[in-house]
């Protein structure tokens, strides 16, 4: 089951919008999916970049900002994944960096973000079967998409 919400992000006023997807999904063996299907893992709460609202467009956050968030209010995340993509004026996306962490915060290392470029970050909460940290069933994830980030 997947429920996604399209999130348009535009690098400049005249730039081409790019579509990212936030939302929730789950996977399980068919025989265990009975009755009402509901999200098993909600999105992270209160996400911030450089102590600012993560989901709003931000400028001047430095090239090594810290990200922080609170655990989902529904379900238990085993791990979190932070992904960073660069967007050019034509709307082309380049995946740059990805990290998995059990923590509720991470600092972007030097060299990933460059002044003058435009980025979108995705913050995923992940839950795997039996408390594992690998992709095992049942599996649940939620994704929160940042605003447009300009260091």
Q: What is the CATH number of the domain that holds 34?
A: 2.60.40.10
Q: In the chain, what is the straight-line distance between the N-terminal and C-terminal CA atoms, in Å? A: 36
| pLDDT tops 80 at residue 99 | yes
Please list, in sequence order, all residues whose beta carbon lies within 8 angstroms of the beta carbon of residue 147, skipping any fewer than 6 positions away: 9, 53, 54, 55, 56, 57, 58, 120
Tokens of 7: 């999130």
| Three-class SS state of 11 | coil
| pLDDT tops 60 at residue 12 | yes
HSE toward the beta carbon, residue 67, CA cutoff 13 A: 29
Cβ–Cβ < 8 Å for 86, 94: yes
Tally the domains of the chain: 1
| pLDDT tops 60 at residue 27 | yes
HSE toward the beta carbon, residue 122, CA cutoff 13 A: 25
Whole-angstrom Cα distance, residue 144 to residue 124? 6
How many other β-carbons are positioned within 10 Å of the β-carbon of residue 26? 21
Phi, psi of 38 (to 5 degrees): -130, 155
User: pLDDT tens digit string along 42-85?
Assistant: 899 999 999 999 999 999 999 999 999 999 999 899 999 999 99
Tokens of 118: 């435009």
Structural domain range at position 89: 2-150
| pLDDT tops 60 at residue 131 | no
Cβ–Cβ < 8 Å for 12, 130: no
Q: Give the confidence band of 18 by pLDDT, cuts at 50, 70, 90.
A: confident
| pLDDT tops 90 at residue 138 | no
């Amino acid at each position: 089951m997947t429920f996604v919400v399209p999130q348009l992000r535009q690098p400049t006023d005249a730039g081409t919008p790019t579509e990212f997807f936030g939302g929730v999904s789950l996977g399980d063996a068919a025989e265990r999916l009975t009755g009402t299907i509901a999200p098993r893992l909600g999105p992270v709460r209160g996400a911030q970049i450089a102590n600012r609202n993560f989901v709003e467009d931000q400028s001047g956050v430095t090239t090594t900002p810290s990200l922080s968030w609170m655990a989902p209010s529904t379900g238990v995340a085993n791990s979190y994944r932070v992904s960073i993509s660069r967007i050019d004026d034509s709307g082309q996306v380049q995946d740059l960096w990805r990290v998995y962490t059990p923590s509720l915060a991470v600092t972007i290392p030097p060299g990933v973000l460059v002044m003058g470029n435009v980025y979108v970050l995705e913050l995923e909460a992940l839950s795997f079967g039996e408390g594992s940290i690998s992709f095992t069933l049942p599996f649940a994830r939620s994704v929160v998409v940042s605003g447009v980030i300009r260091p």
